[in-house]
């Protein structure tokens, strides 16, 4: 969710779309069959981005009301797969199912330990040549910052990269989102592949 900055949605989707376009130019490129939207909310990213690129999109979201809204919003697209009403700290995606796993603005609600375990499960869920993408806010400093309003944590990019490595993921492409309003945290898109998996 956008936390009061709904006006940035178009810019956000445009940046993500260009990032995905560049990922599909990679050799070997990921397939375009099945994607998973993690922390999907009401399906904004699924509808605005992922369904333009993939034949079918599953959603994982812990808020039941959001899941219900997403189902209604996306049912007419012909591309809606399964909506999993689970938090990422407990969600176990099906092994070998996904060409892309997209996780945006949700990792700040997980502990470091939960993030590492989530990453491990995602590596097992990727198909051959599959990718995971995280899109998150990052601090400018070298320490995590706590948001006392929603208890989320914004981490330094260096710390997230440590967690990625612990979770068996390596960076294959990284890009800072452009054209967001001043005063917001820097937002980065990071494409990842398993270190050990055969992908």
Give the span between the Cα atoms of 83 and 40, in whole angstroms.
9
81 assigned to a ligand binding site: no
170 assigned to a ligand binding site: no
34 assigned to a ligand binding site: no
Task: Give the closest residue to 104 by CA, choosing from 34, 167, 26, 15.
Answer: 15
SS (H, E, C) 148-184: CCCCCEEEEHHHHHHHHHHCCEEEEEEEECCCCCCCC
How buried is 49 (Cβ within 10 angstroms: 0-12 exposed, 13-18 middle, 19+ buried)?
buried
Q: Which two tokens stand for residue 114?
A: 């939960």
88 assigned to a ligand binding site: yes
Please provide the distance, in angstroms rounded to a whole number, between the alpha carbons at the two ends of the chain: 31
- Nearest 5 degrees, angle CA 100-CA 192-CA 21? 55
131 assigned to a ligand binding site: no
- Binding residue numbers: 39, 44, 88-89, 104
- Binding residue numbers for S-adenosyl-L-methionine: 39, 44, 88-89, 104
């Amino acid at each position: 969710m956008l936390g009061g900055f709904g006006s940035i949605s178009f810019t956000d989707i445009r940046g993500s779309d260009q990032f995905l376009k560049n990922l599909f130019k990679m050799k070997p490129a990921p397939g375009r069959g099945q994607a998973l939207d993690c922390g999907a909310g009401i399906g904004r990213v699924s509808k605005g981005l992922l369904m333009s690129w993939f034949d079918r999109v599953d959603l994982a979201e812990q808020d039941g009301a959001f899941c219900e809204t997403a189902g209604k919003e996306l049912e007419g697209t012909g591309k809606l797969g399964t909506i999993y009403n689970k938090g990422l700290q407990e969600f176990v995606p099906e092994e070998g199912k996904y060409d892309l796993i997209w996780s945006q603005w949700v990792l700040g609600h997980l502990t470091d330990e939960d993030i590492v375990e989530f990453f491990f499960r995602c590596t097992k869920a990727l198909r051959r040549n599959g990718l995971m993408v995280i899109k998150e806010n990052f601090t400018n400093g070298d320490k995590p910052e706590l948001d006392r309003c929603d208890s989320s944590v914004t981490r330094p990019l260096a710390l997230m990269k440590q967690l990625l490595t612990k979770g068996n993921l390596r960076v294959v492409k990284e890009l800072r989102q452009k054209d967001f309003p001043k005063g917001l945290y820097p937002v980065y898109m990071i494409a990842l592949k398993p270190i050990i998996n055969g992908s």
